[in-house]
Amino acid sequence: MRFRILFVLFSFGLTTSLFSQKINADYRLAIQKASSAIIIDGVLDEKAWEDAAVATDFFMITPMDTSFARVKTDVRMSYDEEHLYLIVVNHHAVEGPYMVESLRRDFNFGKNDNFLLFMDPFDDLTNGFSFGANAAGAQWDGQMFNGGSVDLSWDNKWVSKVKNYEDKWIFEAAIPFKSIRYKKGISEWGINFSRLDLKTTEKSGWAPVPRQFPSASLAYTGTLVWDNPPPDAGANISIIPYVLGGVSKDFQSEGSNQYRRDVGVDAKISLTSSLNLDLTVNPDFSQVEVDRQVTNLDRFELFFPERRQFFLENGDLFAGFGYTTIRPFFSRRIGLNAPIQFGARLSGKLNKHWRIGAMNMQTGEVEEQALPSQNFTVMALQRQIGARSNIGAIFVNKQSLNYNPDPSSEQPVYSQFNRNAGLEYNLASSNNLWTGKAMVLQSFGPDNVGNGFVHAANLRYSSGNLTWNWQHEYVSENYTAEVGFVPRNGFYRINPMIGYRWFPKSEKILSHGPDFNTSLFFNMDGEQTDNTSYAAYNVRFRSQSNLMAWLAYDFVKLQRPFDPTNFSGMTLDSGTEHRWKALGIEYASKPQSVFTYAFTTRLGGYYAGGDRYNFTADMGYRFQPYVSLALSTNFNQINLPEPWGETRFWLVGPRVDVTMTNTVFFTAFVQYNEQIKNINLNTRFQWRFKPASDLFIVYTDNYLPAPFNVKNRSIVLKFTYWWNV
């Protein structure tokens, strides 16, 4: 049974992808070498642009996907020995100012008039890069994976300019060949262009994309046809040193000031035009945006995304293996409690069909925690099958070095090693209607402690109206992934889902329809331990606002003691059973307003026959394009029998983003978390004085809410410089 689903999906993937061709093969844009110099100024006045072919007559994606777009967009591309050039004329369809949040990089797609380029330089319909800008000139760049996902944490060197006119806005960009990866000698790239115009609430694309898929879907790209293969980027070595100074103080322990004076360096070395080696020595991530806190009422560990730049390029090779709650590798486990001393990562394409990833990281010893020095190794290999499917393998090893713990000591004992090995098949049909995954994992530990097995699989179908998904998971009791994220083990799970959408001929409603989902957990004896089932009804308006109402049923048989408030310290007994029903409403306003808001409500039962009421609200106001104000609130009231009684939690997070230019940014973020009795203040100033080179000032405070006393405080000044050798 463990391998039957692998065989079924593998066979299905071969029949749906091997015998298929590129869907939008007839959409072809010729690109030729620039016939004149190109200046990036947002003005279409060079001879090179007069001679360039034009991509126009975009197709509407939303609100409907059956006609040409109302909003006219013209795209031209060219190149020279060092740069890929792009210029886009974004015509207005109706009068009025453009709509943007701010000049913040990697903006929210749905809240900005924008143009995006999606390119597949390997022509594998799976991996690529995205570049773009909003109508005020804020840049967007990301690395593409899984056929249509964009990792916006990836940043690189390129320049662009947006110029606004009365009847249009023009976006012009120069992307160095050294900033992207591509296979040498390929003369056809997959490419598509996406335009979002909020005044008309219209999203459009050059090559047509069905409305149920994102415009980023690489399955629906057209073709960029080069007059000659793109030039070899040549030697491509980037050195990115940093210097840092800072001071911190722990007021609770009445400690003295702790000073930081650090230097470190990253290096990017292109071994080929599509294979990259990253090196780091004494890395620092103090400028990384602080995690958004959440009220934790869950029985299991919460997941927070990776934001550190070193781990991000081609990160899907490592972090994309598995499912949301079954990840054999989770990079935040590295350097979580110990400093990273150095590391190396090799990643990219070997050829059109093979991708490789290999990473090794070394952390230092932490004497206060008796934490030994540790080495982390991850290796991944991926082979494309047919048009868009692939088979992947992963190996993860965590090894403690020079570690001989005393079993009689009161210090924590860490494992000598933990290893994981796995295989995965990812299905994606050529038209993206069918997607799926099947995986197996095996963990290994010293003396067979921590040896365990995982199997999981899903199959998903998404048409314009109907969506359904089947997923099942099995995680043995002894499965251990010390460098992964697997918050729960000793279970198998069944999770079917189905949804349907109608698209009425209405002036106000774009689509509406129901969703049904159930998630059933069983222990190793076949006894049901959890059941979360819900029915929802969704309405999407033509204004792009959304409304959803839902009903849910929950059953939990606790496998271990649990505090339902995650606050009091008092627990419910293992083996007790709990059932309740709940209902709720969610609404998000139209994104084109300068004032936006969203709210959710939940009302219903809870553990031990109690009740839980939850309300969240998110509000934003923008003084475009320079200032964006936001406020997030989350309130929980839990009523339980004694000894708990009534418990209330507030989580409030005001935030201000000031973008004085598209190179100078200031962010202030406050988080008041009543559950953990903490107020966090994080402010960050960033000056991008050259592409990918920055000056950061980061100030952080943590306070006790009552009395309002400082717990700890720190300030860091960091300077980074991107130097191309």
15: Cβ contacts below 8 Å, ≥ 6 apart: none
Asked if 629 and 606 count as a contact pair (C-beta separation under 8 A), the reply is: no
Residue 159's pLDDT is 94
Structure tokens at 131: 């570049």
User: Are residues 61 and 139 both part of a single domain?
Assistant: yes
- CATH number of the domain at 152, please: 2.60.40.1190
Average pLDDT over residues 441-454: 93
Q: Is residue 424 included in any domain, yes or no?
A: yes
Q: 389: which strand partners?
A: 385
Answer yes or no: is pLDDT of 492 > 70: yes
User: Are residues 190 and 58 both part of a single domain?
Assistant: yes
DSSP string, 16-79: HHTT---TTTT-EEEEEE-SS----SS----HHHHHS--B--PEEEES-SSSB-SS-EEEEEEE
Average pLDDT over residues 284-288: 86
User: For 568-598, how does the pLDDT look when each residue is reduced to its tens digit (9 = 90+)?
Assistant: 889 999 999 999 999 999 999 998 888 999 9
Q: Is residue 297 included in any domain, yes or no?
A: no
Separation of alpha carbons 388 and 329, rounded Å: 24
Residue identified by tokens 């059973």 is 577
Residue 7's pLDDT is 47
Average pLDDT over residues 488-514: 95
Residue 104's pLDDT is 86
Q: Is residue 630 included in any domain, yes or no?
A: no
User: For 414-434, how does the pLDDT look when each residue is reduced to its tens digit (9 = 90+)?
Assistant: 789 999 999 999 999 988 899
User: Are residues 444 and 339 both part of a single domain?
Assistant: yes
Residue identified by tokens 């120069």 is 174
Q: Is residue 598 included in any domain, yes or no?
A: no
User: Are residues 72 and 5 both part of a single domain?
Assistant: no
Considering only 412-421, 552-561, 626-635, which range has the smallest mean pLDDT? 412-421
Asked if 557 and 529 count as a contact pair (C-beta separation under 8 A), the reply is: yes
Q: Which of 226, 261, 292 is the last residue of a domain?
A: 226
User: Are residues 313 and 456 both part of a single domain?
Assistant: yes
User: Are residues 12 and 38 both part of a single domain?
Assistant: no
Asked if 378 and 396 count as a contact pair (C-beta separation under 8 A), the reply is: yes
The mean of the pLDDT values for the chain is 91
Q: Kindly indicate the confidence band of residue 410, based on its pLDDT and cuts at 50, 70 and 90.
A: low
User: Are residues 1 and 51 both part of a single domain?
Assistant: no
Q: Which of 489, 516, 542 is the last residue of a domain?
A: 489
Average pLDDT over residues 26-54: 96
Average pLDDT over residues 408-412: 64
Structurally, how many domains does the chain consist of? 2
Q: Is residue 86 included in any domain, yes or no?
A: yes
574 vs 101, higher pLDDT: 574
Separation of alpha carbons 388 and 428, rounded Å: 5
User: Are residues 2 and 52 both part of a single domain?
Assistant: no
Q: Is residue 238 included in any domain, yes or no?
A: no
Residues comprising the chain, all counted: 725
Structure tokens at 412: 């924590």
User: Are residues 350 and 325 both part of a single domain?
Assistant: yes
Read off the pTM: 0.86
Q: What are phi and psi of 8, to 5 degrees?
A: -65, -50
Answer yes or no: is pLDDT of 390 > 50: yes
Considering only 15-29, 70-84, 320-334, 397-411, which range has the smallest mean pLDDT? 15-29
Q: Which domain holds residue 44?
A: 34-226
Q: Is residue 524 included in any domain, yes or no?
A: no
Q: Which of 489, 505, 534 is the last residue of a domain?
A: 489
Q: Kindly indicate the confidence band of residue 411, based on its pLDDT and cuts at 50, 70 and 90.
A: low
User: Are residues 41 and 12 both part of a single domain?
Assistant: no
Answer yes or no: is pLDDT of 153 > 50: yes
Q: Is residue 719 included in any domain, yes or no?
A: no
User: For 321-367, how does the pLDDT look when each residue is reduced to its tens digit (9 = 90+)?
Assistant: 999 999 999 999 998 788 999 999 999 888 878 999 999 999 999 88
Answer yes or no: is pLDDT of 667 > 60: yes
Distances (CA, A) of 472 to 219, 327, 476, 479, 520: 26, 15, 14, 17, 9
- Find the distance separating the first CA and the last CA of the chain, reported in whole Å: 54
User: For 14-39, how does the pLDDT look when each residue is reduced to its tens digit (9 = 90+)?
Assistant: 444 444 468 999 999 999 999 999 99
User: Are residues 7 and 90 both part of a single domain?
Assistant: no
Evaluated on CA atoms 107, 109, 110, 115, the torsion sign reads positive
Structure tokens at 69: 């777009």
User: For 519-550, how does the pLDDT look when each residue is reduced to its tens digit (9 = 90+)?
Assistant: 999 999 999 999 999 999 999 999 889 999 99
User: Are residues 141 and 177 both part of a single domain?
Assistant: yes
Residue 343's pLDDT is 94
